[in-house]
Amino acid sequence: MPAGEDELNCVFWKSFQLLGKLSTFYSTMLHGLSHGIEIQFSELEATGKQLYEDGTLASWVKDPSKAEEFFQTIEKQKGQLFQSIKDDAKKTLDGAAIIYAHGILDASVYGYLEVLSLASPDSFGVYIEKKQVSLIDTKSKTYDQLYKEKVKEYMEDVIEKSSLMFKLDKMHEITKPSDTLMNREINYDRIKFKQFDAARHNIVHGNNWSSYSIDFTQELFYWNLLNFYLLKLVVRKTGLKLSKEYSEKYFLEN
C-alpha cells in the first residue's frame, strides 16, 4: 500500500462516521427538548410554590406582605419564561453542535495534512528548509531520514497546535487546487469557515453558549462537504485512493 493511503482511509471514514454520530446526537436531543424542558419547568414550578408556601419567598423580598403579589406575577409570566428557556436550550444545543463539529473537522484537516506529509513530503520543503540539524545527526542519519524527521516535527510543533483556519490555508497552499468546488454548485467558502472557527472560539472562550442559532441540517451538509472536498484535494495531489475493504473494516471495528 502506498505511503499515506492507510491514513487517508482512516481520516476520511472516521470523519464521515463521527459527523453521522453528531447528526444522531443532535436529532435525539432536539426531539427530546420540549419534553425535557417540561420536566425541568415542572420542577422549577414546584420549587417556587414550596418557597412561597413555607415563607421563604417572603423572607427574600423587601416587603414580606408583597410576597403573594410577587408570586402571582411569576405565575403570570410562566408561558413567557417557558419559551425563553426553550429558546436558550435550542441555542445551547446549537452551540454544542458547533463545538463537536469543529473538533471533528479540526482533527480531520490535521489528518489530511499528515497524509500529505507522508505521501508528498517534498511539498513541505518550503516550511522546513531553514530548520537546524545537529552535527551528530548528520553523521548517523541520511538526508532522507533527517528530512522526514523535520517534516514530522513541523506537523507536531506547528500544524497540530494551529487554528482550524491555519490548517485549511495550509491545505490549499500545499495542494494548490485548480478549482475550489466542494460540489458542482458550491465553492469552498473561506469566510464561512472562518466564521465557524470564530463561533467556536466565542462559545468556548467567551462562554457564549446561547449566542448562536443554526440550521443544523444545512450546516451538517457543509461540514460533510468539507470532508469530501479535503479528500478530493489529497487524492488529486497524491493519487491515493479510498479502499472499500477499509471502510467495511473500519465500521465493523468502530
Q: Please write the tens of the pLDDT for every residue from 77-90.
A: 777 777 787 888 89
Q: Tell me how crowded residue 28 is: count the other CB atoms within 10 A of its CB.
A: 10
Nearest Cα neighbor of 113 from 221, 7, 224 is: 7
User: So where are the chain's domains?
Assistant: 5-243
Looking at residue 157, the DSSP 8-state letter turns out to be I
pLDDT value at residue 103: 97
DSSP track, 194-237 = HHHHHHHHHHHHS--TTS----HHHHHHHHHHHHHHHHHHHHHH
For the chain, the average pLDDT equals: 85
Between CA 222 and CA 72 the distance in angstroms is 48
**pLDDT less than 50: residues of the chain:** 134
Residue range 138-188, pLDDT digits in tens: 555 666 777 787 888 888 989 999 999 999 999 999 999 999 999 888 999
Length of the chain: 254
